[in-house]
Amino acid sequence: MSRPVVGMVWAQTPGGTIASDGDLPWDVPEDIAHFRATVRGHAVLMGRATWESMPPGMRPMPHSRSVVLTRDETFSAPGAEVVTTLPGALALLADEDQVWVMGGGQVYALALNHADLLVVSEIDVPEPDGERLTPAPRLDPTQWHDATPPDVGGWRTSVTGTRWRIVHHRRS
């Protein structure tokens, strides 16, 4: 029996911060569009805090099967499926072709060992100084290699003036 391709998608600062006090420390609408295009039509797995941080109109993710991972057995996420363990989530999604992990930090840390592909947007902004910084997963260079397609790579500039780029990593 095959398993789905497990991808992880996130954006980070050059220093590896994905959130500051629960919010994104940048405004790059093109990256939001890239994120939506990446996960559209595929199952998405997220933590409870990520679910709760999403605008109500985006919950569940449009055109995607949404699964929320939480330790709270009583949590309800209307329109999504709720699981309490990562193995439970992966079993629930075993028949999908692709599963995209979309946050937050704790879920990324749990899922990294199961991931096949990482799609990371690097946002060229100063490191935030929030009280609660969420770090991106630390990648072991012996386990991951750059697999950025030529038509995707390279720096670009957002309509907001912020430089950003997309990098793909595949498990070695």
Q: How wide is the angle at C-alpha 90 spanned by C-alphas 138 and 72, nearest 5°?
A: 85
pLDDT of residue 116: 98
Examine the pLDDT at 51 and tell me if it is beyond 90: yes
Q: What percent of the chain has pLDDT over 70?
A: 99
User: Could you tell me the pTM of the whole model?
Assistant: 0.95
Quick one: which H or E segment has residue 33? helix 29-39
Runs of H (alpha helix) within the chain: 29-39, 48-53, 86-92, 105-111
- The domain spans of the chain are 5-171
Q: What confidence category does residue 1 fall into, taking pLDDT thresholds of 50, 70 and 90? A: low
pLDDT of residue 123: 98
**Domain spanning 5-171: which CATH class is it, in words?**
alpha beta
Rounded Cα distance between 70 and 52, Å, is: 11
Rounded Cα distance between 44 and 98, Å, is: 9
Range with the lowest mean pLDDT among 1-10, 68-77, 142-151?
1-10
